[in-house]
Amino acid sequence: MTKKDQKQLKTPYFTKLKEYAESDPTSLDVPGHKLGRLNNELAEYAGHNFLRLDANGPRGLDNMSNPKGVIKEAQSLMAEAFGADRSYFLTNGTTQGILAVIMSACRANEKIIIPRNVHKSVINALILSGAKPIFVKPNIDKTLGIANGVSINAIKRAIDENPDAKVVFVINPTYFGVVSDLKEIVNLAHKKDMKVIVDEAHGGQFYFSKKLPFGAIEAGADVSIVSIHKTVGSLTQSSAILTKGDRVDHNRLQATLNILNSTSPSSLLLASLDVARKDIYFNGNKKINRLINMTEKAREKINQIPGVEAITEDYFKSKGEFGYDNTRIIVKVSDLGITGFEVYNELRDRYNIQLELAETHLILAVLTMGTEEKDLNHFVSSLKKIAKKYLKLNLDPIVQKPVYNEPIYYMRPREAYHAYKKYVSIDEAKDEVAAESIMIYPPGIPVVIPGEVISEEIINDLKDYLKKGSTILSESESGFIKVVDLENTHSEED
C-alpha cells in the first residue's frame, strides 16, 4: 500500500464526530434534540445514532469558516483523492459553490464567458457578482430536443472577441452526460490568462475510471464544483469545490464562502463527504467499471425493444460531440407517440421506478456505484411492457423542435434584479426587458434571462409552447412576464 493509500484510509472528520457522539456529553448547547435524546418519529425511524452525529461544531470538530483541524485534514484528503491542490466542503450543494466561485472570480462589470444552457445558480451568481455574461451557444440536438456541449470554435470566437474576459465557465458533463473538449478549452483560455471554472455537478465519478472522460481538474481547469452527493455517494446537498494551480485567489474564495455558509453547517453532511471520498478512492475503479459493463448490456437490451432507443456514445460523437458519460442511460421514447413525461410517470406509478428526469422526447436514468443489476433488469422489462402497450395504439411520433434565440443584451442581470419591476401579459411584452429567467423544458435553455430584450420571436415561441402544454419555468403567473419598469429605473455603475 502506498503512502497516499495509507492517508486515504483516514476519515478524520467522521472519526472525530463518532468520538464526540460516543463520549455521551452532557449537552447544554444546540441542537435542540440534544444528540437524539428527544424521542420523535425521525429518531425512531432513522435510529438514534444518526441524530447523535448531528452535532453543532463543538470543540474538536473544527470550523468551516477557518478550518485548521479535522475539516482541513478531510478537505486535504478530498483534494488529494481527486488530484486537486485544495478542496472546500459545501453543505448547501453545488449551487453554493457556483455562487462563491463566480463571486470571487468576477467583480462587477467584468466579463464571464458562459454557455447558454447554464443552471439557474449561474444566473443568480451573475446577479450577486454583477458580472457581465458573454453567452456561447451550445450545440442543439434537434433529434433529442436537448442542449449538448460547446464547440471549440464557439469558445475561441468568444475569447477572441472578448480578450478582457476574466473567466470561461463550462458545463462538463451536461445533465445528459455530454462532455466538451475541456483540455483544448483550458488551453485557449489560459493563453489569454482567463480562469476556467467548470460546473462538474454530474462528473465526480470521472476521476476514478479510465473508461470515463477526463475530470475537469485532470484537464487543467482552475476550479471545479462537484456534486459529491449526485454520483459519488455522500448525503444530498453535500458538494465540494476543487482547485488547481495559482490562478485561484483562495483568500477571496474563502471569504466569499464565509458569506454564503451557514454558521451551523450540518455535521452529517460533512461526515458523509469524508466517507464518500474514502469509498470511491478505494472502490471506485472496480465498481464504476462494473457499472459501465452493466449499462452497456442494458442499452443493448433496450435497443432490441421496438419503438424506443437507448442513446449511445457513438450517437453523440456522430453529432460532433467530444465524448459521453456512460454511467447514465438516455432512452428516446417519442417514437411511441408519447412524451418522456408520460413514460416517467408510468414508470413511477405502475412499476415503482424513479427516474432522474424526463423531457418531451426522452427519459434519463442516472446510475452510480450503488446501482445493482436487478435495478437495470427491472428498468428494461418495464420499458418493454410500456413499449408493447403503446405500439398497439399506432400513435404518430411526437415532433417538437427545440428553440434557441440569440439574446439581445440590454443590461446586466444584476441591474435587472435591482430595477423596479412590473408585470405585463405575453402579448404586451415585445421590446420589454426581462426581469426574470424563463426556461422551456425541453431543452432547458433560458429563453430570456434578466436584462435581455424580449423579442417578437420569443413571444411567439412562448405562445407555441404554452399551447403544447410544455413546462415553462418562470416567476410569474401563466400568461404574464416580469419585466423592468424602464421609466422608473436608472442604470447602476457597480
Please provide residue 244's backbone torsions phi and psi, each rounded to the nearest 5 degrees.
-150, 135
Per-residue pLDDT of 41-55, as tens digits, reads 988 898 889 899 999
Class for domain 413-488, per CATH?
alpha beta
Cis peptide before 173 (omega within 30 of 0): yes
Give dist(CA 356, CA 372) in Å, integer.
16
Q: 280 or 477: whose pLDDT is higher?
A: 280
Q: Phi-psi region for residue 220, left (φ > 0), alpha (ψ -120 to 50) or beta?
A: left
Other CB atoms within 10 A of residue 487 CB = 7
285-391: which CATH architecture? Alpha-Beta Complex (3.90)
Residues 6+ apart with CB under 8 A from 213: 173, 179, 182, 203, 206, 322, 323, 324, 325
Domain 285-391 matches domain 413-488 at the CATH topology level: no
* Residues 344, 354: Cα–Cα separation, whole Å: 8
485: left (phi over 0), alpha (psi -120 to 50) or beta: beta
Q: pLDDT tens-digit profile of 130-147? A: 999 999 999 999 899 889
Q: What is the mean pLDDT of residues 283-309?
A: 98
Q: Using alpha carbons, select from 284, 260, 293 the residue that is nearest to residue 206.
A: 284
Contact in structure between 276 and 82 (CB atoms under 8 Å): no
CATH among 3.40.640.10, 3.40.50.300, 3.65.10.10, 3.40.50.970 for 63-280: 3.40.640.10
Q: What is the mean pLDDT of the chain?
A: 93
Residue 491 has pLDDT above 60, yes or no: no
Residue 403 pLDDT exceeds 70 = no
61, pLDDT greater than 80? yes
Name which of 137-141, 154-158, 451-455, 475-479 the model is least confident about: 475-479
Contacts by 420-424, CB closer than 8 A, 24 or more apart:
420/484, 420/485, 420/488, 420/489, 421/482, 421/483, 421/484, 421/485, 422/482, 422/483, 422/484, 422/485, 423/476, 423/480, 423/481, 423/482, 423/483, 424/480, 424/481, 424/483
Contact 492, 418 (CB under 8 A): yes
Between 304 and 405, whose confidence is greater? Answer: 304
* % of residues, the chain, pLDDT over 70: 97
pLDDT at residue 463 in the model? 83
Tens-digit pLDDT profile for residues 201-242: 999 999 999 999 999 999 999 999 999 999 999 999 999 999
CA gap 188, 195 in Å, rounded: 10
pLDDT band for 442, please (50, 70, 90 cuts). low
In degrees rounded to 5, what are phi and psi of residue 422? -150, 165
Where along the chain do its domains lie?
1-61, 63-280, 285-391, 413-488
- Per-residue pLDDT at 441: 62
Local confidence band at 26 (pLDDT 50, 70, 90 cut-offs) = confident
In whole angstroms, what is the distance from residue 382 CA to residue 385 CA?
Answer: 5
Residue 382 pLDDT level (bands cut at 50, 70, 90): very high
Asked whether the beta carbons of 360 and 416 are under 8 A apart, the reply is no
